[in-house]
Structure 1
Amino acid sequence: MTESSETALTGTLSISGVAARTGLSTHTLRYYEREGLMFAPVDRASSTHRRYTEADVNWVIFLTKLRLTSMPIAKMREYVELARRGDDSVADRLELLLIHRMNVVRQLEEMTASLAAIDYKIGLYQEKVTA
């Protein structure tokens, strides 16, 4: 069954469908669930297979963005716990994300400086190769 026909029939996706859609492995999806990173428990079919909703998929995509920006799992878990508390945790979530954003900006600056050093070396080598 394809992802689109699977979704059309049940309104949900299997773990392999979510893996295909997000680019994550099924192992990573199970890990996120085990670590308590899903906003809500993932539904199970009577066969005990996981059934992800569109909201689950969107949450996983957001978790992926946090992870790709090097947010530690413990901080991700903290964010999830705050999100589950609802509106009374908005200020705390904002603070957590602002601090993380500052870390990401610092990482980008470091990466940009490193890229400039690499480009400089490439330029030197290109001059030697073409000389």
Structure 2
Amino acid sequence: MLTIQDASRRSGLSEPTLRYYEEIGLIGPIAREATSRHRRYGEQDLDTLQGLACLRAMGVSIEDMRTYQANRALGHGAAGQQRDLLLRHVERVEAEIRTLGVHLEYLRAKAQLWDARACGDAAEEAIASQHVQQMIPSLQAVLR
């Protein structure tokens, strides 16, 4: 059995987050020592926490984590629902990646523009400036 500090360290979730997840029913109830009433986490609890930590890191909402946990408890009978929930997040992450790609290209173009200015290369500055201007519609599209 693990202390809350050990569970926090191994899961990557803070102690307040562990308490909160138990309070809202995402995990637990967690076993407690008879005398001190300190939480004691088992390996199954830790597996659950590590899964939740991954979902949280990917931006999955508390509501979707609740659904995920409920579906998990249902087992194979909820496999399709589990797949659909995860695929919705796949689509969201793919959109974020596309957005970040545009941001990355814009930052590189701006850096090239300023590099050309720093070097005093008017021809390269004009090319870089044109590239930045061509990117504006793409940047505006992802900012909406």
TM-score by length of 2: 0.72
Per-residue CA distance 1:33-65 (angstroms, 9 max, x = gap): 112212x43221212111111222222121111
Q: Which runs of 4+ in 1 moved over 4 A?
A: none
For residue 7 of structure 1, what is the aligned residue in structure 2? none
Question: Identity across aligned pairs (percent)?
Answer: 33
Q: How does 1:1-131 map to 2 (within 5 A)?
A: 12-38=1-27, 40-46=28-34, 47-131=36-120
Paired residue type of 2:99: E
RMSD over aligned CA atoms reads: 1.8
Q: What's the CA shift for 1:24?
A: 2.1
Q: Count the aligned residue pairs.
A: 119
For residue 131 of structure 2, what is the aligned residue in structure 1? none
Q: 1:59 to 1:123 in 2, by over 3 A?
A: farther
Q: 1:88 to 1:19 in 2, by over 3 A?
A: same
Per-residue CA distance 1:47-88 (angstroms, 9 max, x = gap): 211111122222212111111211111111111111122221
Q: Is the 8 A contact 2:12 2:50 kept in 1?
A: no
Q: 1:130 to 1:32 in 2, by over 3 A?
A: farther
Q: 1:19 to 1:130 in 2, by over 3 A?
A: farther
Name the CA distance, whole Å, in 2 between partners of 1:60 and 1:129: 50
Name the CA distance, whole Å, in 1 between partners of 2:108 and 2:18: 37
Q: 1:119 to 1:88 in 2, by over 3 A?
A: same
Paired residue type of 1:122: A
Name the CA distance, whole Å, in 1 between partners of 2:119 and 2:56: 41
TM-score by length of 1: 0.78
Q: 1:90 to 1:116 in 2, by over 3 A?
A: same
Please list every run of 5 or more consecutive structure 1 residues that lacks an aligned counterpart in the other structure. 1-11
Name the CA distance, whole Å, in 1 between partners of 2:115 and 2:53: 37
Q: 1:128 to 1:21 in 2, by over 3 A?
A: farther
